[in-house]
């Protein structure tokens, strides 16, 4: 009898242990599913803000940050921290205009300001964006040549041009936006590159929080270049119009429907924008840190392009760092070039009240897509006629320096006006910060132009 009891007790004990193990396994699986759902929900909540922030780190931006780290080491690393809230506040204002009016930025300027203001801004933006497109296409081709030297530069430029045009014109907006979001992961190549390099972390932390300046012409030009590539006009127009595209994607197909904006939608937009701008500035931080820790520390300070930086990293930081840096140039070009062309098209189309939007098919918005094609082809042609890409970027920076303060002035005015954004006007603090940023960009624009003649 006792033997039977022992067998039953033993069987119950084994069953209990198995049951507990299965419960733990089930609990672990349920926990993993919950974590996956949270991560998926977080990813789904990101959109226009994330893409806009990532597009800011285009090949021309990568070149600027590389030059900064190579020439001055960690000295200007604090700029990544300084520009983050400024950039986020501006892009949040732009997104709020899109959400509250159901129109793009150019459409709102057309309604609220004289036409000469709108046409001047649109013309300058188109010129700056087209030059930037040309420089980015050239950088993508050069970076690809570094990885595959046998490929022809001109064929690569043409191939990248056609590929970017194909994505914008023939891929439905919902899919196209997903592709742009996934390209954001390319940015982490620059984070990985930094950790593959031998960096003095004490110096890095010190210069992250302690501003340092040398008032030289060269450093002044780099600082204004950084401000121009982080707080840039094409991002203003893209952010506003992309918010409208997202609303249309979710069923708000008329202005009347898009003007109805809930607190939850505004909260989601702000979260998206601040995450996007954080990613943008974090990547700037790691690019400067990598070039400072590897190139500057080895006396390599003459970096003119992003490709120069990748090539210089090869013997010092190793093949993996070189490949990640070069692939990052290509990946970010694929994200930024469509944003540059798209923002130019939105601006011109809205200026003349043409039908616009990537959600439309080609036959529904021919002038809008015509602007995209025209700016892309001009950008491609610039590479065929032998214009120095660095000169293109300098001229583009000058144009941006002229137009950015003007557009910022209009943005702060509109987001402080109840007739435009109704109850979602700027708080006194945000308005003051907006005018502060505008003032900084005025100084930056004037300094850029003066530095060219000193």
Spatial neighbors of 366 by CB under 8 A, at least 6 apart, are: none
Task: Give the tokens for residue 294.
Answer: 């590897």
What's the pLDDT tens digit per position in 280-306?
899 889 889 988 888 888 888 888 777
CB 46 within 8 Å of CB 181: yes
Task: Give the tokens for residue 95.
Answer: 């997104």
Give me the torsion for CA of 382, 344, 91, 397, rounded to 10°: 30
Concatenated DSSP letters of 221-284: HHHHHHHHHHS-HHHHHHHHHHHHHHHHHTT--SHHHHT---HHHHHHHHHHHHHHHHHHHHHH
Low-confidence residues in the chain, pLDDT < 50: 1-2, 4-5, 7-9, 11-12, 15-16, 20, 23
SS3 content of the chain, % helix, strand, coil (to 5): 80, 0, 20
Spatial neighbors of 63 by CB under 8 A, at least 6 apart, are: 139, 303, 304, 305, 306, 309, 393
Angle between helices 153-170 and 366-384 (to 10 degrees): 170
Structural domains in the chain plus CATH codes:
47-451 (1.20.1740.10)
CB 164 within 8 Å of CB 337: yes
Nearest partner of 104 among 367, 411, 396, 437, judged by Cα: 411
- Separation of alpha carbons 157 and 137, rounded Å: 6
Q: Please, what sign has the CA dihedral across residues 57, 385, 120, 372?
A: negative
CB 140 within 8 Å of CB 306: no
Report residue 217: phi and psi, to 5°.
-60, -45
Determine if residue 340 is left, alpha or beta; phi over 0 gives left, psi from -120 to 50 gives alpha, anything else beta. alpha
- Separation of alpha carbons 409 and 411, rounded Å: 6
Q: Could you give the C-alpha distances from 399 to 23, 122, 123, 234, 407, in angstroms and in order?
A: 64, 12, 10, 12, 12
CB 173 within 8 Å of CB 359: yes
Radius of gyration of the chain from Cα atoms? 25
CB 291 within 8 Å of CB 311: no
Q: What percent of the chain has pLDDT over 70?
A: 85
Q: How far is CA 280 from the centre of its chain?
A: 6
Q: Please, what sign has the CA dihedral across residues 163, 169, 172, 175?
A: positive
- Separation of alpha carbons 45 and 98, rounded Å: 17
- Separation of alpha carbons 147 and 417, rounded Å: 51
Q: How far is CA 232 from the centre of its chain?
A: 10
Spatial neighbors of 17 by CB under 8 A, at least 6 apart, are: none
Number of H helices, E strands in the chain: 20, 0
Burial 332-353 (b: 16+ CB within 10 A, else e): bbbbbbbbbbbbbbbbbbbbee
Spatial neighbors of 447 by CB under 8 A, at least 6 apart, are: 220, 221, 224
Report residue 252: phi and psi, to 5°.
-90, 80
Nearest partner of 108 among 117, 126, 84, 292, judged by Cα: 117
- Separation of alpha carbons 97 and 79, rounded Å: 27
Q: Give me the pLDDT at residue 190, please.
A: 77
**What predicted TM-score, i.e. pTM, was given to this entire model?**
0.83
Spatial neighbors of 202 by CB under 8 A, at least 6 apart, are: none
- Separation of alpha carbons 217 and 166, rounded Å: 42
Length, in residues, of the chain: 454
């Amino acid at each position: 009898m006792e033997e039977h009891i022992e067998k039953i007790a033993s069987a119950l004990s084994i069953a209990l242990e198995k049951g507990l193990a299965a419960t733990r396994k089930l609990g672990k699986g349920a926990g993993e599913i919950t974590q996956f759902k949270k991560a998926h929900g977080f990813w789904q909540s990101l959109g226009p803000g994330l893409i806009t922030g990532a597009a800011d780190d285009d090949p021309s931006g990568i070149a600027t940050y590389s030059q900064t780290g190579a020439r001055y080491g960690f000295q200007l690393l604090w700029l990544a921290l300084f520009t983050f809230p400024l950039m986020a506040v501006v892009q949040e204002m732009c997104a709020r205009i899109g959400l509250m009016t159901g129109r793009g930025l150019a459409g709102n300027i057309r309604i609220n300001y004289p036409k000469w203001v709108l046409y001047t801004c649109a013309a300058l933006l188109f010129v700056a964006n087209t030059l930037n497109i040309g420089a980015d296409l050239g950088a993508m081709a050069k970076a690809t040549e570094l990885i595959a030297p046998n490929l022809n530069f001109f064929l690569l430029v043409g191939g990248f041009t056609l590929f970017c045009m194909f994505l914008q014109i023939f891929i439905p907006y919902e899919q196209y936006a997903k592709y742009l979001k996934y390209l954001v992961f390319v940015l982490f190549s620059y984070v990985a590159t930094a950790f593959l390099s031998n960096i003095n972390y004490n110096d890095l932390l010190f210069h992250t929080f302690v501003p340092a300046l040398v008032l030289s012409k060269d450093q002044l030009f780099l600082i204004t270049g950084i401000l121009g590539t982080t707080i840039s006009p094409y991002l203003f127009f893209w952010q506003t119009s992309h918010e409208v595209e997202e609303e249309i994607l979710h069923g708000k197909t008329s202005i009347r429907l898009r003007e109805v904006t809930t607190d939850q939608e505004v909260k989601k937009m702000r979260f998206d924008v601040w995450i996007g701008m954080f990613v943008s500035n974090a990547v700037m931080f790691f690019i400067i840190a990598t070039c400072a820790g590897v190139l500057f520390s080895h006396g390599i300070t003459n970096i003119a392009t992003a490709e120069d930086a990748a090539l210089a990293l090869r013997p010092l930081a190793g093949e993996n760092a070189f490949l990640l840096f070069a692939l990052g140039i290509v990946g970010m070009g694929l994200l930024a070039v469509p944003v540059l062309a798209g923002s130019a098209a939105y601006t011109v189309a809205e200026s003349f009240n043409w039908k616009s939007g990537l959600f439309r098919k080609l036959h529904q918005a021919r002038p809008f897509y015509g602007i995209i094609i025209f700016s892309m082809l001009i950008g491609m042609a610039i590479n065929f006629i032998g214009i120095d890409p660095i000169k293109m970027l300098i001229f583009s920076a000058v144009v941006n320096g002229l137009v950015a303060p003007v557009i910022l002035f209009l943005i702060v005015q509109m987001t402080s006006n109840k007739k435009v954004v109704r109850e979602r006007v700027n708080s006194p603090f945000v308005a003051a910060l907006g005018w502060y940023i505008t003032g900084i960009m005025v100084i930056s624009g004037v300094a850029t132009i003066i530095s060219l003649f000193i």
